[in-house]
Amino acid sequence: MDIGQPSASPEVRWPGNSVAHRIWSIIALWTVYGVFNTIVVHYRSMLYGKPMSWTECALYEVSYVWIWAAVTPLILVISRRFPIGRGHGKRNGLVHLLGAFGSAVITKAVWDFTALPFVAPSLVPVDLQTFQKSMVRALDFGTLHYVIVIVCHHAVEYYRKYEDGRLRASQLEAKLATAQLHALKMQLHPHFLFNTLHSISELVHDNPARAESMIVRLSDFLRLTLDHVGIPEVPVSEEINFLRRYLEIEQMRFEDRLTVEWDIDPSTLLVRVPNLILQPLVENALKHGISRNATQGVLRISCKQEDGKLAMRVFNNGPGPARAVTTLSEPVREGVGLNNTRSRLERLYGGNHHIEFRRAAEGGFEVTIRIPMRRSPVYPSTEDNKPIPAAAAGD
C-alpha cells in the first residue's frame, strides 16, 4: 500500500437530519477510518523494516481522510442530483465517472501541497512529471473512495424511503381501520332506527300515547349516542346506560312479557368496551328469542372479569336460532347487527378476542364476548351518577 492511500472506506450513515449532524457524522466516520489506516500503516512499516512513528502515521492518514471529509458534501450533492437508477443512466454514469476521477485528483493534489510538506517534504512533487505520477497513483483508491461514498449514500436513502413507506403504510392502515369502524357504526345506526321505528309504527294507531312516549325515549337514546360519535370505546357503565335506554323502548313494546336482569360486576365499570357493542346482541335476543317465547321472557346481561379478560354475556330464555352453534368459526347466519359486531371486534382487537354462541344449560340461548381489560382513566357512572349495582331487576 502506498503511504497516504487509504485502503478502505467508511460507511456513511446519518444519526439525524440536521446539517450539523450530517457534517459531524462525515468528520467522525472519516476520522475513524483514518485512525484505522494509521494503525495499519504503522505496523506495516515495521514489517517492511522502515518503521514510522505513530505521529508520522497519523499525520499521513488523518490529514488525507480529512481532505476527503471536506469533499464528501460535494459528492453527496452530485449523488442526489444524478442518482444511480432508471432514467438518464448513461448521462449520470458519465457524471459519476468524471466525479470519481476529479475527486481523486483534487484530494491528492490538495494533500500533496498542504499536508505532505509538513510530514514528508521530500515526497512533495517538484515538477510536472512527479505531479502526474502522484495523480495517477491516487486514481485507484480515490475512485474507490468516491464509489463507496456514492453507494453508501444510496443505501441510506433507499433505507429511509423504505422506512418512510412502512410508516405511511401503517398510518394508512390505521386510517383505514378507523374508517371501517366508522362505516360499521353508520351501518348499525340505520339498522337500529329501522327496527325501532317499525315498532313505533305498530303502536301509532293502537296506542298513540305509548307510541309518543316511545318516540321521546328514542329521542333521548339518539341524543346519548350522538354525544359519543367518533368515540370507538366507552366505559362499561356507559354501555350499560345505552342498553337501559334502549330496553326502555323495547319494554314498552313487550310490556309485561319481558323481564330484564342485570349482573354487572362493579370492578368492570371502568373497563372500556366498543361503543354500542352489546346493543345488536340484545336486539337479536329480543327478535329471535324473547319474541318467539310463549312464556315470560327473561333477558340477562352480565359483565364480569374472567381470567384477566372482560366477559360480557347476553342470555335469553327463548328458543334461539334454529341451529345452535358453539363457535363463530362454524357457519352461522348473521344479520347486519351480528356481522358488524364480529367485524368491529376483529378491527379493534385482532385475534385477542373471543365470541361464542351456545345453548345455555338451563335452556335458552347465550352469546359471550371476551375482550382485553382496558380501563378508562375517568370513573364512569350511570345516568343518575350512581354506580351500577352488581345485580338489579329489570324495570
Question: What does the pLDDT look like over 171-201, one tens digit per residue?
Answer: 766 666 665 555 545 544 555 677 677 777 8
Band of pLDDT at residue 112, cut at 50, 70 and 90: confident
> d(Cα 237, Cα 301) in Å, to the nearest integer?
13
> d(Cα 283, Cα 279) in Å, to the nearest integer?
6
More confident residue, 64 or 118: 64
Instruction: Check pLDDT > 70 for residue 330.
Output: no
> 207-393 belongs to which CATH class?
alpha beta
> d(Cα 350, Cα 358) in Å, to the nearest integer?
22
Q: Whole-model pTM?
A: 0.49
Instruction: Check pLDDT > 70 for residue 274.
Output: yes
Band of pLDDT at residue 118, cut at 50, 70 and 90: confident
CA atoms within 13 A on the CB side of 368: 15
> d(Cα 62, Cα 38) in Å, to the nearest integer?
8
Q: Give the mean model confidence (pLDDT) for residues 366-391.
A: 63
Please classify residue 12 by burial: count the beta carbons closer than 10 Å to its beta carbon, then call 0-12 exposed, 13-18 middle and 19+ buried: buried
With H, G, I as helix, E, B as strand and everything else as coil, classify residue 365. Answer: strand
Mean pLDDT of the chain: 77
> d(Cα 38, Cα 57) in Å, to the nearest integer?
5
pLDDT of residue 230: 65
Domain spans, the chain: 19-171, 207-393
Instruction: Check pLDDT > 50 for residue 357.
Output: yes
pLDDT of residue 314: 94
> d(Cα 263, Cα 312) in Å, to the nearest integer?
10
> d(Cα 38, Cα 53) in Å, to the nearest integer?
10
